[in-house]
Structure 1
Amino acid sequence: MLPAYIKIRDELKSEIDQGTWKIGSRLPSERDLASRFAVSRMTLRQAISVLVEEGIVERRVGSGTYVANQRVQERMRGTTSFTEIIKSQGKTPSTHLVSYQRILPNEQEIKHLNISPNSHIIRMERVRYADDLPVVFEVASIPEKIAKKLDKQAISEHFFQSLTEAGFIIGKSKQTISAKLASKEMAHYLNIQPQSAILSLIQTSYLDDGICFEYVRSQYVGERFEFYLENH
């Protein structure tokens, strides 16, 4: 016969799988759950602890127990498109364009894009979503000589796909990842609390002929996105 806490774990997991408790939603209090299942709070805590260990729920100090977020994953291999990553995981990608301007490059853009100080670029800021949940804030810089071959919508909504459709062949990329805390401004765009964990990614992407076509500074919500390495 199964222990009571395992039965409770199984029932709660089943409810989560069926959508009774949505991702990110708060479960009832331990007292309420213990009353519902007619067990002691100690037995209820055992069931919750198993769910925590399995990554199904997460405890937040002073707040309660929540259904764990299912993070979007990106495999750190080659040049990647956010849109394709999101679609490959069964989610719907979307974009909110914050700003889009033709401008002269700053020192970092000159260096990473390997362009002259007098060469104009397109610099855009956008928030990228997975199933309407903000995942990343991006600042992307694109040489005008490449951007002028595409329209604004193609660049801001599905840049990599548009490049491919225009006949460009995407090559390698260089990526640097670091950890930081969200500023008030970033927290506003990403709908998180200030000082929340952020994954900062700098990516420089190249065409197959070695020409750099994009320099991006991205800030990912730590609890909604993760990178993983795959070696062969």
Structure 2
Amino acid sequence: MAIDKNDFIYMKIYNDIYEKIKSNVLKPGGRIQPENVLKEQYNVSRDSIRKALQKLENDGLISRRAGAGTYVTSKIADYSLANQESFTEQMKKIGKIPSSEILSIEILSDYEAEIGEMLDLVPGEKLYRVCRVRKADGDPMALEIVYVSQKLVPNLHTLLYEDTSLYKLYEDYYNLKMKDMEVHIEAELADKDVQKKLRLKENTPILKISGVMQLEDQRPHYYFVCYHIGHKYSFSVRLPRKRAS
């Protein structure tokens, strides 16, 4: 397969292999072809192949084993925006073991007015702020910050552990009936705080997703901000055609 040899040749190779991993053409544990074979396949220099493989390795998608070759290490998490799925459900669906590193659980009475308005809180009403690193097979995937009224989830700090699903607590323990959420998605570069918490290099792209979950009785449930490591996720949604009248 010939590739335009102008700018960013190695990124085109990277993107092609990335898509094959994402679509499961290249499966976790599967071997990547040797450099000399890839060089002929893409009709490019060995240097371009090495740069593409190095970026894939830096992104945690492949690993090189001395004397044994190069192998796929990860399946990209494909998250449908048309359905509500917890992180635990997402990871189990692609065969990974979900876990969390709890960075902090705080009870706040002083917070941004905008958060209070989104959650329909009276001034000074207490809420929980939960900050966690979400992991798959022990590797960081996302930084999640959740704000939820203490009245809705009393004693949350005594129930939340590193292997606990917040969704299961909400639904099974607190008997809260979640309905839907409106989300906002932004692509940006990780700031220093996110870099540190997710162990990212400078200028790593992330997807920032935020929104408010609504309960069936129309009360706001929680507000969240989640920073997803860009190369570890893909997001999909089915969009119906709306014809002009």
Task: Tell me the residue number matched to 1:176.
Answer: 184
Matched, 1:185 2:193: yes
Distance in structure 2 (CA, Å) of the matches to 1:230 and 1:20: 30
- Residue 231 to residue 155, structure 1, CA distance change in 2 (3 Å): farther
Matched, 1:111 2:117: yes
- Structure 1 unmatched ranges of 5 or more: 1-12, 35-42, 51-57
Shift of 1:173: 0.5
Share of identical aligned residues, percent?
21
- Residue 150 to residue 185, structure 1, CA distance change in 2 (3 Å): closer
Q: Aligned residue pairs: how many?
A: 194
Matched, 1:81 2:89: no
- CA displacement, residues 106-138 of structure 1 (integer Å, 9 cap, x when unaligned): 212112111112110000111001111111101
Matched, 1:207 2:201: no
Residue 39 of structure 2: which of 34, 45, 57 is its match? 45
Contact 1:182/1:195, CA 8 A, preserved across alignment: yes
Matched, 1:139 2:145: yes
Instruction: Please give the secondary structure, in 1, of the residue aligned with 2:170.
Output: helix
Shift of 1:202: 0.5
Matched, 1:98 2:103: yes
Contact 1:78/1:172, CA 8 A, preserved across alignment: no
Contact 1:201/1:219, CA 8 A, preserved across alignment: yes
Further displaced range: 137-146 or 155-164: 155-164
Matched, 1:164 2:174: no
Task: Tell me the residue number matched to 1:53.
Answer: none
Further displaced range: 150-159 or 97-106: 150-159
Matched, 1:123 2:129: yes
- CA displacement, residues 87-108 of structure 1 (integer Å, 9 cap, x when unaligned): 1222111000111110023212
Contact 1:79/1:205, CA 8 A, preserved across alignment: no
Distance in structure 1 (CA, Å) of the matches to 2:236 and 2:28: 28
Distance in structure 2 (CA, Å) of the matches to 1:187 and 1:216: 19
Distance in structure 2 (CA, Å) of the matches to 1:145 and 1:213: 11
Distance in structure 1 (CA, Å) of the matches to 2:239 and 2:186: 21
Shift of 1:191: 2.3
- CA displacement, residues 128-155 of structure 1 (integer Å, 9 cap, x when unaligned): 0111111110111010111206453348
- CA displacement, residues 45-87 of structure 1 (integer Å, 9 cap, x when unaligned): 133x39xxxxxxx864694664365211111024331111111
Distance in structure 2 (CA, Å) of the matches to 1:65 and 1:83: 25
Residue 153 of structure 1: which of 152, 159, 176 is its match? 159
Q: State the TM-score, normalizing by the size of structure 2.
A: 0.69
Distance in structure 2 (CA, Å) of the matches to 1:74 and 1:44: 30
- CA displacement, residues 182-223 of structure 1 (integer Å, 9 cap, x when unaligned): 122212221221111100000210111111111001100000
Task: Tell me the residue number matched to 1:4.
Answer: none
- Residue 175 to residue 155, structure 1, CA distance change in 2 (3 Å): farther
